[in-house]
Amino acid sequence: MCVMAPISTPTRVLLADDHSLVRAGIRRLLEEFAATEVVGEAADGLAALALVKLHQPDVLIADLTMPRLNGLELAGEVARQCPATKVLMLSMHVDEECVRRAFHRGAKGYLVKDSTASELEVAVRAVARGDTYLSPAVSKYFVAGFLDQCEAPHDGSEGLTPRQRQILQLVAEGHT
């Protein structure tokens, strides 16, 4: 008896970048990935939004800076009008504010343009399955900022003198 493997549907991707060579390069990389299908390309945000509505891709890879509707505005519109399409923001910017704004607008991933092909594949797969993806080139800044904002763990006795701590310890141990 022959058992057939389940047929997996390809991840449908739409590209939006105002540079045709960048789009062509990303398309070529995506076509090499298993179970990935590029369903369209757009050179500006308004065209991308129209194609998202038409093709309903799983993932929209959108450049942060595009004419007519920038990537941030596009991410917001896609999240509002076509929530099944997940946005992977693509940018050369690694600053914390750009990343924060992208996620605030509805992006599910942020990939820097100097990433490797394997990182692109990981990012597309993660975003397609509903996970959040943050490029390692950017995540180190967020982790550092997070650690800076975290307070050191405390036990509530910071304002006590050594003698007061000793008394508190004795009371905790059941002494009068």
In this structure, are residues 48 and 14 in contact, taking their beta carbons and an 8 Å threshold? yes
In the chain (176 residues long), the average pLDDT of successive 10-residue segments reads: 53 95 94 92 95 96 92 94 95 86 93 92 94 85 66 60 78 69
pLDDT given at position 6: 46
pLDDT given at position 161: 83
pLDDT given at position 146: 63
pLDDT given at position 1: 40
